[in-house]
Each structure stands twice: as C-alpha cells, then as structure tokens.
Amino acid sequence: MSTKKVTIKQVAQEAAVSIQTVSRVINDRPDVADSTRRSVQAVIDRLGYQPNAIARSLIRKRSHTLGVVAADLALYGPMRGLSGIEQESTYLGYSLILRLVNQLDTDNGEQALSDLLARQVDGIVWAIPEIDDNRVWLRDRIDHLSIPIVFLGPSPNDASPPISASQIGGRMAAAHLRTQGYQHIGLITGPLAFLAARDRQRGWQEIVSDSEPTRIFNGDWSAASGEYGLKQLLQQYPQLDAVYASNDQMALGVLLAAHQLGRRVPEDLGVVGTDNIPESAYFWPPLTTIQLHMIERSRQAVRELSGKIETGQDNRTTSQTGNINLEPKLIIRHSSVLDHGRDQ
C-alpha cells in the first residue's frame, strides 16, 4: 500500500473539477452546487485526502485552536470541567493549548493569558474557579482583547450573576435531609475563599434558617477535613443528626469518623455530599450526593465560544456561559434515607 500523500490536485483530477472547486468544498464555501459538493466529498473520502491544516489556517486567518486557562487538576471539579472542554473542542474540530494556574487566589493567570494570546488562539475558555478577587484584574482587560473569552462561572463584569448551581445544590441537599426527618443538620464547607463553597453554604442556610456557628465547620475539600470536621461538630453540637458535606471527598471522611465514633449512618446520622464522583456509589453506606453536571456545562461553554468565533462577536457581547446553570440532580442513596435498613 502506498504511503504517498494524496494532493488536492489529484482530488480535482479524479472529481473532474478545478482545484479551486475542491478548495471551496474543503472550506465549506456556499458557492458550490450540492451535487458537486457531494461528488467532490466522495472522492476526498475515497482517496483519504487530508487538507493541510496550517495552510487552511493561513487562508482563514484562524488557528483552529482554543486556549484553556485551568486550575490544578487534582481538584475534582476543574478536572471534570476540562474533560468537557476537551470533548466538545474535539467534536467541533479545535485543538487545545492548556495553561494551568496553581496559585488560584492570585492574579498570576495574567501570564497564562498573555502566552495564549501570543500563540494566536482563536478564543479562550477561562476555567479557573472564582476565589476571592482573583478575577478582578480581568475586568479592564476583557473588552480590549482581540479574541473572545468565556468563563466557567460568572464573568468578572457580571454585575448580578444568577443563582448558581452550587447554591441550588446546597438547598436541595438540606431540603432532602429535612424531608427525611433529620432536625439538626450541620454543614462542612469547602474553603470559603471559593465562590462555589460560599454558594453551597448559602443554599444550605436557606433551609437551615436557624443555623448557628456551632453547626458549621470550614473544611478544605479533603477527606481528612471531613473526618476532623464531623468530630468537631459533634463536640460543639452534640444533637447533630445529619451533615451536608460540600464535596464527596469530605463526605467520605464524615463516613469514616461516624464509624469511628459508633454513629450509624443513616440511622444516627444522615450524610449528603456533592459532585457524584464515580466512587460515591461504592462508599459504605453508598453516598447520597448532588450532581452538578460540570462536563455538560463546560461543553456548553465551548459551544458558546465557537459561536462567538464564527460570528465575529467580541467580548462586549453579553456572555451566556455564566448564566448556564444546569439544574443539579439529587442522587439518593443509603446514606440519607432514614427508613432504609431499619429493623422491621
């Protein structure tokens, strides 16, 4: 079998059309008859012709590359978000250039932004979680960027961002525990510098309206902080009978601490987490959790960015990505169902 590369001239000769017509088909130009387009495409498919992506980019003045500024992938949410970005970018025909920012509470994303602009990407997905004021420096930059940028979460210029999926999820978790009959519901937060952690706390407080500091422990997303957090909550608030942990890793630590302290789950202590990590169904008991659809949200962000690129929209056009809040889903399992496993 020959390994010689098929040329556009060979495609034109085989299809009995001009090289210019083949080029129009490849670039999806509208000035080609449907019958001709089908005929040329059939020859392209049969010969296995691969257009020169670099040449096409020069002609179109586009790189077919997206930049992504993301957080440390050790965190579950950013990891899932990046997975969705990669899936949709591949589907739409874009390559990715990834820049990771490890110090999330600073403005050091500026170097990543400058690097991506220098590499002539067509657009940027900003996937760093909002922490304190780590996006403030972008406010004056967005409108002057030469390419579109979309944010996973509110844009720095959003004056009144919508209620987030995290806030809705916190509300759903606490409401579910109340429905199950739990009366004294505690909270283990994520680091409160994270907007997502604050939003989950706000959602929980909408249901636990009589909340007080003794019901709240500030965790750090780790299983270890969940274990320590439950022990601290029980010391401060002995009547505690349920806990909403702001992520599944901390909920895992809660389950361990409950076992160590002789607290039966769910009979003595109801537990709900957030994220629906794949392992949560295999915790013991299996964990009730809030699923936030990070992959689909990220895919929608890439679709919005692609639309801006194709239509030539700049960053003064209102972004919809910050308003994409797919309804969270409550995944009910054994850890929060009071009548499950009781003596009959």
pLDDT tens, position by position, 154-176: 666 665 556 788 999 999 999 99
- What integer pLDDT is reported at residue 107 of this predicted model? 58
CA dist 33 and 29 (Å) reads 10
The two tokens of residue 209 are 């309206």
**pLDDT range class, residue 210, cuts 50, 70, 90:** confident
Q: Is the pLDDT of residue 344 over 70?
A: no
Rounded to whole angstroms, what are the CA distances from 122 to 28, 44, 92, 308?
Answer: 19, 27, 13, 10
pLDDT at position 201 over 60? yes
The pLDDT assigned to 105 comes to 56
- With beta carbons less than 8 A apart as the criterion, state whether 99 and 108 touch: no
Query: What is the pLDDT, as a whole number, of residue 108?
Result: 61
2-44: per-residue pLDDT in tens? Answer: 456 788 888 999 999 988 788 778 767 777 888 999 999 999 8
Of 33-42, 90-99, 183-192, 208-217, least confident by mean pLDDT is 208-217
pLDDT band for 340, please (50, 70, 90 cuts). very low
pLDDT of 225-274, one tens digit each?
A: 999 999 999 999 999 999 999 999 999 999 999 999 999 999 999 999 99
Is pLDDT above 50 for 1? Answer: no
SS3 state at 100: strand
Classify domain 65-162+294-323 at the CATH class level.
alpha beta
Q: What is the mean pLDDT of residues 196-211?
A: 90
pLDDT at 24: 79
Alpha carbon 43 to its chain centroid, in Å, reads: 40
Q: What are phi and psi of 65, to 5 degrees?
A: -130, 135
CA distance 65 to 300: 17
Element at 168 (helix H, strand E)? helix 165-179
How many other CB atoms are found less than 10 A from the CB of residue 34?
7
State the span(s) of the chain assigned CATH 1.10.260.40. Answer: 8-51
pLDDT for res 318: 53
More confident residue, 210 or 338: 338
Specify the CATH superfamily of domain 8-51: lambda repressor-like DNA-binding domains (1.10.260.40)
Query: Out of 69-83, 117-131, 267-281, which region has the weakest mean confidence (pLDDT)?
Result: 69-83
- Average pLDDT across the chain, whole number: 84
Task: Give residue 205's identity as a one-letter amino acid code.
Answer: Q
Reading phi first (left if > 0) and then psi (alpha if -120 to 50, else beta), residue 2 is in beta
Residue 78: pLDDT band by 50, 70, 90 thresholds? confident
Would you state the structure tokens that stand for residue 339, as one six-digit string? 């009548």
Region(s) of the chain under CATH 3.40.50.2300:
65-162+294-323, 165-292+329-336
Question: For 298-326, what is the mean pLDDT?
Answer: 73
Please report the pLDDT score of residue 314 as a whole number: 63
- pLDDT in the model for residue 225: 98
pLDDT in tens, 128-141: 877 766 666 777 77
Q: Does domain 165-292+329-336 have CATH number 3.40.50.970?
A: no
